[in-house]
Chain A
């Protein structure tokens, strides 16, 4: 169907503007400002519109875990609802598997959701009048899968999320963590290619949250879905993401790997986020590696995928440059121990 190079999701110049007659207002504002997004957004605000998502551009690759991070009101929830077409999108393009979904027919969208999309919600969104099994099987029920078949499939995903034995319980009889397991199972019932998670762990206790994050990573390691994951928690973002987009006031201010975000924030806003983060736990040795061949005599055994913390622990008493190896043991570069220390320095403000 689609070749391997097609990104799972592409957003181009995506806008979501709220207010009566937003479509026309956006077109006008863009033409007035000569397609300058910032000016157009200011213009729209002055007219009383709310530009909740402004000119978003990004791609999510096949099998990539793409995290969108921002504080409340930054537009991240609006953005995921645009992509999943729970909101129509005011301007721009969203391609899912190469097909533009903005302006797609109701029927096409329903079909897309039945086959390719799954979504997990912050407050679970479980149907209170259905048992766990019925909740999980619901996406199959609406697309007309027979009872026996859909219950068998529901059982599979319920087992996958570790809820066997609770099939006949009602949501109200479950704990928060268990409810979200049901939400996850339901979103996986149709075996979707693309998986949306809207702050799935935010409503949970810290301990349960960490437990579910780990299980989520375990599930993702076997399923390899293309994921858009929303969170307001930088730690969560750094722990889970392949790449992170940081949003502020409706704009994406930076897209990058966790290392990029921690070590090379584009502005003070992003720096502010990463300030409290133990950088050494997230940034990798590769980020401070130089392409030099002059090294000292010591080889503490650094690899590219080591975190800075781990690397520093290996070089505590070293001052001269040391070699870095890749997974196969080949030397691929050099690290100055002073660079490690410098990268971990906490910004004074």
Chain B
């Protein structure tokens, strides 16, 4: 053979794994589109082929839940005692005493800043007039957190002691992390009936995993030599564990306590959806439904204040802290007691306080004025985003382009032209040596034309399999296809695609915007100074509260949901991007500088590649966050699985709730594994 004829044959053989996978996906997609007329079942999974899986799950769960119901009811009756107790104590303690206690606790934990935070935070709550509701919420947290701490801690210790239990626990925790919060509520509702105990138990279930995770992590990370020293000192296993390993892991365990508190608070507020308890979450929901946004914002702020106070105070536990003068604690408590006694007769009933009502009204009227003044502009923003971005993504250009929106009608010729352009771009890119990139462009154009909600199922499965194979080999591909097939046959496919579309759009926006903000924060320190507290705040706010501002400005609808999801899910992307870029080892930077690289070249050739695995992990978190928020956003109008879960809750339909929750978890799990696979591959390539 001559050298000339060798070259093309070589390049034909040397298709990378990625190119092969993309090629197969393109072929499958093209076949589906071509045969759509002949065989509609290739695009839309026929209803006749669906299994009544939802009913089966429902029937089974009904049977199972009814079986354990008596035991659970007994448990819930028992839980009612501590809850009523906490309610009674918090509800009847005069407010100055509580404020004094929190202030004293703040001083003990973190000195003056924490004391001030506690004092002003609670004063705000008092002034807002939501004192009684807040105490109800706090009572729920106060009971669910100890339960979660004990259960989570015990699970963590057990997993640490018994290696076989560990992998099982880890798997369960992974799944629990992806199951949407609302999905927990439906079966609990069936078990415990409506009422505060459901919220209590849901929040304990939701808050235990972070504790278990951190206990496991902490115990695992205790230096091996410390463990060995405990053994060689002649300690029994019990002594080793409780006298050495757990205290040595205290910092990590305290991180668990902090996360547990936050999770419990978040869930208690979400649980307000089922009602039956006059707490602050309920207040938000109620005012939101009545479109009293001023009040709802006020109640939302009360929640945020609680979240910030609890988070910052418990956060000090996980850092090495100074000892603050205990005399101040006694002084504060003493003063509080004196104050309470002296002014006993004049203490106002906190529920009748209306100090901040004018503010709420001002917000309300200001908001009305604002939306009226900026109505056209806001509407244009909303409609343009909907018509030109979200809708085409959802149902495809072929259906979204209408005379009413775009000014002309989409035709088959246009589709053909679009594909032709795509093919030319792909061919050009392939010719320049970027075959995989070209094929991906072609796939994206195809998806835009068809719309995510109308994608043919064989194409989705092939695409998922191809991605999984590239990211993690055959096993991951088989897992992804297997899991997605269960959604397909259970009749939740269309709703799953809708969820995929909305979360996909949000994740994409977050990745671009968050990546850029992260980049800016890494390059210019002043940007990070501004961005950081915003990120901290966004991560502290319970999910629920995100809905209020978007609702105020954009009303109910998909666009509001989209914004709420973005606001919540963008944070990890920013954080990880910055973290990855900032943490390039100095030696690598110095090597690049001494090679004569410019700032931009260092970013492109050194910092970005080194940060890639970290950024991918950020993307992974963003995806999980987006799925978590998707369900909450169902409250303000999204379609898809989130809506199903929410509806199931309203109808106490366990089958639908659990199936839709599982489908959501599957989507999140598959996305999670694929991105983790890519991150792992990058890490290995860098030798990390």
Contact = CB atoms under 8 A, between A and B. Distances in A.
Interface of A: 81, 84, 86, 110-115, 117-119, 121-129, 138-139, 141-143, 183, 186-187, 190, 196
Nearest to A189: B233
A113 B243 contact: no
Nearest to B236: A110
Contacts of B635: none
A110 B234 contact: yes
16 contacts: A110-B236, A111-B234, A114-B234, A115-B234, A117-B232, A121-B228, A123-B225, A125-B225, A127-B247, A127-B248, A128-B248, A129-B247, A138-B230, A138-B233, A138-B235, A139-B233
A121 B248 contact: no
B231 A113 contact: yes
A166 B226 CA distance: 21
A113 B233 contact: yes
A197 to B, nearest CB: 12
Contacts of A113: 231-234
A129 B250 contact: yes
A110 B237 CA distance: 10
B588 interface: no
Given A128-B248, A129-B247, A142 B239 contact: yes
Interface residues of B, number: 18
A113 B250 CA distance: 27
Nearest to B238: A142
Interface in B233-262: 233-236, 239, 243-244, 247-248, 250
Nearest to B247: A129
A36 to B, nearest CB: 33
A283 B228 CA distance: 37
A344 to B, nearest CB: 40
A86 B231 contact: yes
Contacts of B243: 138, 141-142
Given A86-B232, A114-B234, A129-B248, 8 more contacts: A114-B233, A118-B232, A123-B225, A125-B225, A128-B226, A139-B234, A142-B236, A186-B233
Contact of A122 (B225, B232, B233, B239): B225
Contacts, number: 69
User: Ordered nearest first, which 7 A-B pairs have the shortest CB separation?
Assistant: A114-B234, A125-B225, A125-B229, A113-B234, A139-B233, A119-B232, A142-B235
B321 to A, nearest CB: 14
A81 B225 CA distance: 11
Given A84-B232, A117-B232, A139-B233, A127 B225 contact: no
B223 interface: yes
A123 B234 contact: no
Contacts of B235: 110, 138, 142
B40 to A, nearest CB: 52
Contacts of B239: 142
Given A113-B234, A142-B236, A121 B247 contact: no
A125 B234 contact: no
B223 A142 contact: no
B229 A119 contact: yes
Contacts of B223: 123, 125
Given A127-B244, A129-B247, A121 B229 contact: yes
Contacts of B234: 110-115, 139, 142-143, 190
A142 B225 contact: no
Given A123-B225, A125-B225, A142 B233 contact: yes
A124 B233 contact: no
Nearest to B229: A125
Contacts of A190: 234
A141 B243 CA distance: 10
A124 B226 CA distance: 8
Contacts of B231: 86, 113
B52 to A, nearest CB: 44
Contacts of A141: 243
Interface string B192-235: 00000000000000000000000000000001011011111111
A86 B233 contact: no
Given A84-B232, A110-B234, A142-B243, A125 B226 contact: yes
Contacts of A118: 232
Nearest to A183: B229
B220 to A, nearest CB: 16
Nearest to B244: A127
A115 B230 CA distance: 14
A84 B232 CA distance: 8
Contact of B229 (A81, A110, A115, A126): A126
Given A129-B247, A142-B233, A86 B226 contact: no
Interface in B529-550: none
Contacts of B230: 127, 138
Contacts of B226: 125-128
B684 to A, nearest CB: 21
Interface in B249-307: 250
B232 A127 contact: no
A187 B248 CA distance: 19
A187 B231 CA distance: 12
A125 B228 contact: yes
A113 B248 CA distance: 22
* Most chain A Cβ neighbours within 10 Å, of B230, B234, B243: B234
Contacts of B248: 127-129
Interface string B435-447: 0000000000000
Contacts of A117: 232
Contacts of A138: 230, 233, 235, 243-244
Given A143-B234, A186-B233, A119 B228 contact: yes
Contacts of A187: 232
Contacts of A127: 226, 229-230, 244, 247-248
B228 A86 contact: yes
A118 B229 CA distance: 9
Contacts of B228: 81, 86, 119, 121, 125
A252 to B, nearest CB: 23
Given A129-B247, A129-B250, A142-B243, A124 B232 contact: no
A114 B234 CA distance: 5
Contacts of A111: 234
Interface in B487-520: none
Contacts of A84: 232
B318 to A, nearest CB: 14
Contacts of A125: 223, 225-226, 228-229
A330 to B, nearest CB: 46
A80 to B, nearest CB: 11
A295 B409 CA distance: 119
Contacts of A129: 247-248, 250
Nearest to B246: A129
* Most chain A Cβ neighbours within 10 Å, of B226, B229, B232: B232
B166 to A, nearest CB: 16
A190 B229 CA distance: 14
A175 B248 CA distance: 19
A108 B687 CA distance: 44
A157 to B, nearest CB: 13
A189 to B, nearest CB: 8
Contacts of A139: 232-234
Contacts of A119: 228-229, 232
Nearest to B235: A142
B243 to A, nearest CB: 7
B520 to A, nearest CB: 37
Nearest to B232: A119
B235 to A, nearest CB: 4
A32 B671 CA distance: 50
Contacts of A81: 228
A183 B228 CA distance: 12
A112 B232 CA distance: 9
Interface in B621-644: none
Contacts of B233: 113-114, 138-139, 142, 186
Nearest to A116: B234
Nearest to A81: B228
